[in-house]
Amino acid sequence: MALNPAVRLPPFQHLLDAHAVDLHRFCVAQAGPDHGADCFQEAVIAALRAYPSLQDDRNLRGWLFTIAHHKVLDHHRATGRRPVPIGDGPDRPTGGVAPVDDDLWRAVNRLPGKQRGAIALRYLGDLPYAEIGVALGCSEAAARQNVRAGLAGLRQEVTR
């Protein structure tokens, strides 16, 4: 039961119906099909655990994507720490770059972390800059700047 009586949380299924497809794509685009599915699962389970005591029923989409963003960050941190196997050719993604099946999103995943998150939250999460800022832990202006810088970096890559 919600602690704040003014909060009327919708059935969790509504969140899944409205956001699960985009949330899953968000994870897969940044972490690849297998790890993306893991991130998605961890995010939804974490959301389920937190849901009954949520104190704010506004911006539930932003709330879900913030959780998923952190799961993707955890994943990238974990793979970034993993030693790169010897013999990795220069073409192979190394470190935190996920085996994503899309050239453009592979390029996104080579961007600095905050720009990657900002691009994914903006174009797959479809979130307003204020909520991107919340997810990234920065200001709305900084979120805007990260999206702009990320786009500029991508344009350089694709026109190169």
Partner 1 sequence: MTTHPIETQLRAGVPTDPTAALNAVLARAEAEGLVDVAYATTDSPIGPLLVAATDAGLVRLAFDAEDDARVLEELAARIAPRVIESPARLDQVRRQLDEYFEGCRDRFDVALDWRLSAGFRKTVLETLHAQVAFGHTVSYLELATMVGNAKASRAVGTAMATNPIPIVVPCHRVLRTGGHLGGYGGGLPAKIKLLELESTGHTLF
On whether the CB atoms of residues 57 and 11 are closer than 8 A, the answer is no
With respect to partner 1, which residue has the nearer C-beta, 24 or 76? 24
On whether the CB atoms of residues 76 and 96 are closer than 8 A, the answer is yes
With respect to partner 1, which residue has the nearer C-beta, 74 or 102? 102
Shortest distance in whole angstroms from residue 42 CB to partner 1: 9
Instruction: Report the sign of the C-alpha dihedral through residues 95, 101, 106, 108, in that order.
Output: negative
Angle made by CA atoms 80, 82, 83, in degrees to the nearest 5: 110
With respect to partner 1, which residue has the nearer C-beta, 84 or 102? 102
Shortest distance in whole angstroms from residue 86 CB to partner 1: 29
- Residue 111: closest CA among 144, 81, 147, 153: 153
With respect to partner 1, which residue has the nearer C-beta, 16 or 142? 16
Shortest distance in whole angstroms from residue 88 CB to partner 1: 23
With respect to partner 1, which residue has the nearer C-beta, 11 or 90? 11
Contacts for 96-101: CB closer than 8 Å, 24+ residues apart: 98/30, 98/31, 98/32, 98/35, 98/36, 99/32, 100/28, 100/29, 100/30, 100/31, 100/32, 101/32, 101/33
Shortest distance in whole angstroms from residue 28 CB to partner 1: 5
Q: List residues near partner 1 by CB under 8 A.
A: 1-2, 8-14, 16, 20-21, 23-26, 28-29, 33, 36-37, 40-41, 44-45, 48-49, 51-52, 100-102, 104-105, 108, 119, 123-124, 126, 151, 154-155, 158
Shortest distance in whole angstroms from residue 89 CB to partner 1: 23
